[in-house]
Chains A and B, each alone.
Chain A
Amino acid sequence: MTHLITAVAGNEWRILVRERTFLPGAIALLLLLLVSLAITLERYQAVHEKQHEHTARADADWQAQPDRHPHRVVHFGDYAFKPVGPLAHFEWGVEAHTGQSIFLEGHRQNAANFSDASESTALLYFGQLTPAFVLQTLLPLALIFFGYGAIARERESGLLHQILAGSPSAAPLLLGKWLALAAAGFAALLPLALLALVAVVTTPEHALRVAMMLAGYGVYVLIWSGLIVTVSGLARNAHGALLGLLALWIVLCIAIPRVLPELAGQRHPAPTHVETQLLAEAALREVGDSHNPDDPYFNAFRTQTLERYGVERVEDLPINYGGLVMAEGERLTSEAYAQASERVFGQHARQNLWVDRFAVVSPHLALLQLSRSAAGTDTEHYIHFLRASEARRYAMVQALNELHTYEIAFQNDRDQRLGAAAWDAIPRPEYAPPDARFALARSSGALSILLGWLLATGALLSWLTRRLERAHGN
C-alpha cells in the first residue's frame, strides 16, 4: 500500500511540474511570498528601529527633566511600547490598525499610536500583503489551480476507469494525489519554516508559538489538498471541478472571514475610542470634580481627611492636601476609564466568542485566529498590552502624586520643585508580553476546529474511495 501511495504521489508530482500552469503559478506564488516577506521584514526593521529610537528618546527625555514639580511630570508623561515579536512580521494581525505604543499621562487613558493604518494610505486601500495573507488566502487558490484536475481530468480522459480496472483499490490513488498536492503546499511553507527556525534559534522562548503556527499551517494545507482531491473526484469533469473549487474558496476564504466579524460587530457593537472617552468623562462627572470647590464628593473627601488628621484646615495637615486630591482624582478617573475600557473589551470578547462559535464553518477563519494568536498580534494580546500599560500609567501617576503629597508643602505648592533624582524612583517597567501558554489557551479552539476539518476531510476521502470503487466495480 505504502509503495503504491508513493508511486502515485511521485507520478502526480511529475505530471504537476510538467503542466503548463504549474511553473507560472509556482513562480507567481513564490514572488508574492518573497515580496510580502521583504515588505514585512522592512516593516519589522522599521518598527523595531522606531521603537528603539523612541524608547531611547523617552528614556533620555525622562532623565533630562529638570528640577520640577511632580505634577508637571504627571503631564510630561511617558511612553509604553509593545515589542514586535519575531513572528509578528509574518502575521501583522490587528497591530496594523491598533498601533504598538501608548502615551502615558495623568488623568486620561490614551489610545495606541503609530499604527500602520494611520501611516499608510496603501494599507487603507488594499489591506495587508503579508506572508500570512499569501499562505492563508492565495496558497489555497494556487493549490486549486494545481490540483482541480487531479481526478476529474482522468475521469474525462478515461484513465480513471482504466486505472481502477487494474487496481485493487482506489485508496492509494486518492491518498497519493492528496500527498502530492499537500507536498506542493508544504513547499510553499518552506519560507515560513525557515523564519520559524530563525525565530526558535534567536528566541527559544518562542518555540511553542512557532510550533503552533507551523502545525496550524501544515494542517491547513492538508485540509485544502484533501478538499481539492475530493471535489475533483466528485465532479463530472475538470471544468466543473474548477468552478466548484473556486466557489468553495470564495465562500471559505473571502466571504465567511469578512462577513462573520462584520455580523459579530453588529450583534455586539463596541464603542469607538472617542465614545469610550466620553462615557468615562460622563461617569466621572457623576462622581465628582476635583477642580470644583463646591463639589459634594470632594467636600466630603476634605472633611474625612481633616477628621482623620484631627485638624480644622487643610493648611494644618502634615501632608500636602493638593497631592491627596490629585491621587483621589486619579483613582476616580482610572476607575471610570477602566469601567469604560472593560465594557469595550467585554464587547470585543463577545464579538470574538461569536466569531469563534461560527469559525467551525471555515478553516481559513480558524487558521487566522491561530496564526494571529501564535504571532502575538491578535486582539487578546493587544488588550493584554493595554491593561499592562494602564497599570504602568496608574502606578507612575500615583507615585508622582505621592511625591506631591509628601515632598511638596501645601503652602506655595506650585512654586516648589523636586530634584531630578526623584524621577529615578518612579516605576517605568518595560512591557512583558504574555508567554506562549496565553496564546495556546486562546487558540486551542481554533486548533481543534482545524483538526476537526482534517478529520472531516479524511472521512470525505474515505467515502470517495468507496464511491469510486463501487462505480468501477472494485
Chain B
Amino acid sequence: MKRIAMAALAALALTTMSGIASADTIKVGVVGPFSGPFALQGKNFKAGIDAYMTLNGNTVGDDTIEILYRDVPQPDPAQSRALAQELVVKEGVQYLTGFYFTPDAMAVTPLLEQANVPLVIMNAATSAIVTKSPLVVRTSFTTWQTSTPIAKVAYDRGVSKIISVVSDYGPGVDAENAFKTAFEAAGGTVVEAIRMPLSTNDFSPIMQRIKDSGAQAVFAFLPSGPTTLGFVKAYNQNGLKQAGIQFFAPGDLTQESDLPALGDTAEGILTTFHYAVSHDSPENKTFVEAAQKAIGNPAELSFPAVGAYDAMHVIYKMIEATGGEQDAQKAVDAVKGLAWQSPRGPVEIDPETRHITQNIYLREVGKNEDGTYYNKEIQTFEKQGDPGLAAAK
C-alpha cells in the first residue's frame, strides 16, 4: 500500500514537473547592428522577426518564445562573442541568431558546442562560416551564391571581355573570385580586376580606368550605402552608360532601401540576388505586408528582413522537433533537408552544408507607375547552392 502511494506520488510529481517543462519560455538571442551606421540592417532583422511572430504566433506547442536583442553597432568580433556568451550564460537562451557581419558570426562559432546552442545566421555571407561548427545553419545567402549567375548572364548577352571592380574587403574579394571563376568557365575573359579601398568617395578615376581597359562591360561589387550611390552616379556622369558599357552586379548594389536615392541613375542595371521585395508570390505578399507594418517606413524594407523571417521559421521547426528541450545537435539535425516556401521562393536547408539552397533571380531596376523604383525579376536560376564552399576545398 505504502509502495503504491509512493509510486503514485512520484508519478504525480513527474507529470506536474513535465507539465511545467512543456509550458516553458524559450529564449532566442538576436545579435545584430541595432544602432550606428548599420542600424537599418538591424531594423530589418527586427521587422522580419516581428512579421514571423505576428503571422505564426509567439508559441510553439506549449512553449512561449521570447526574443532578446543585443546590439553590436559595427563589426566587432570580441564584443559580439561577449554578448553571445552573456546571452547563453546569464539569460539562458536556447538559440542564437542574427549576425549581420561575418567576423561577428565567426567569433561565436567556438562557443556553440559547449553551450549546446544552435546558431541560425540571418545574414553574414562568407561561405566558410558553416564549416566552423556543425551547429551553424544559414538562411541568407553567400556572395558566391549571388555573384555566380550574373557571370552567365553577362556572357549570354554577348560580353566576352569584362572588367571587375570591387571594394577591397572580404565580400568584395569573394565577389571578384566568384565572378571570375564563373565567367572564365563560360568562356569569357576578365581583362582587369581592380580592388578599391572601402573609403573611396570619388570614382571618376576608376571610371577612366574602366574606359581605358577596353572592356565591353563592368562587374562591380560595393557594400550598400553611400559608396554605391557615388559609384553608380560616376558610372552615369562619366559617360560609360552612353558609351554602351554594360553594368552587372550582385543585388547588394541595388538594395531596396538605396533605390530612392539611386533613382534613375540605376535604371537598367542588371543584378542577381536571392530576394527582391517586389517578388511576385502570395507568400511574399503576406510577408511584405506584415514586415512593412513592423518596420514603419515601407521604403526601408530590404533583404535582411527575409533572412530573419526564414531564420525564425527554422528556429520554430527546431523547437517543434526537440519539444522545447535544449538539444542543439538534435535541433540542427531536424532541419537538415527542411524545405519550405519562403517569401523569396522555394528554399531548402542543404543537409551537407547547412546553407540555404534557393532560387537566384536576375533583376533589372525598373520604374513603378508612381515614380518609385524597384527590382524587377526577369529570369530565375533555380536551386542554387553555394559554389563558394566547393571553390575553397
A, B from the same assembly: no
What residues make up the interface of B, taking CB atoms closer than 8 Å to A?
A: none
What residues make up the interface of A, taking CB atoms closer than 8 Å to B?
A: none
